[in-house]
Each structure stands twice: as structure tokens, then as C-alpha cells.
Amino acid sequence: MNLFSSITEESFSYLISDYGFSEPVATDGSWKTTFLYMNDQIGIEIELNYRDMDTFIFMSKLYNGELPQNENSTRRQLEEIIEVEPSKSNGDRTTIEQFEKGIAQKSNLLKRNIKEILNTPEKVFV
């Protein structure tokens, strides 16, 4: 596990302890690592994108306890759901410290909004 993965799991641990999400399933790609947290309604994907040096949070409604596997499924970015402008990294000029800070900022953004999202999933995933 790399430093960014450790920081991500620590930063988003409240999803497990406070909201009953599963332990994350980590998947490594060529330019990203994705952490998938699920409860009985929603899947939350935390993507560490190493090419952009940025963190993205995607949310999907689960069907029968699983993520939908088709292109018509509703997968939305957190900022779109809560109607705020997404923050952008400096790309390849992003420092390690800025990348770490970005992970924490996205975690805090989700933490401030997760209760409302969970309480009104029908408004979020129409």
C-alpha cells in the first residue's frame, strides 16, 4: 500500500465507523487507484488519479447490492450531486503535499454532505 492509499483509507474511515459502509475494495489501474465503499443503497468510489494528481468521488445507486454494470447507470460526481464547482488540481505541477491536502479536502466535503445524501437518495439518483 502506498502513502496516498493509506491517507485515503484513514481520511474516509468515517464511512465505515459512522455510516456502516463496507471496508473499501481497492483496485489499482495504470494511472489510478480506486477505493469502493458500499452500503445497502450506495456505492462510493474514491479515485486517486495519479496522472491529474487529483482525487475524485463518484457515487452510484446500487441494484440488488451491486454496482450496475451498464453505461446507462447513474454514476455521479460528488460536486455535481451537491451542486458546487469541482476543485481542480495543478496537474503535473501538483506537489505531494498538495495531493495529500486534496484527499483530505474531498474527504471533508463528503463528510459534510453524506448525511443529506443518504437521507434523500431518491433526489440524488433520479
Q: Which pLDDT score is estimated for 126? A: 62
pLDDT, tens only, 91-104: 667 888 888 999 99
pLDDT, tens only, 9-36: 999 999 999 999 999 999 998 899 999 9
Q: What is the DSSP string of the chain?
A: --HHHHHHHHHTTHHHHHH-PPPPEEEE-SSEEEEEEE-SSEEEEEEEETTTTEEEEEEEE-BTTB---STTS-EEEHHHHHT-PPP---GGG--HHHHHHHHHHHHHHHHHHHHHHHH-HHHH--
Q: Which pLDDT score is estimated for 14? A: 97
What's the whole-model pTM score? 0.88
For the cut 90, the answer to whether the pLDDT of residue 90 exceeds it is no
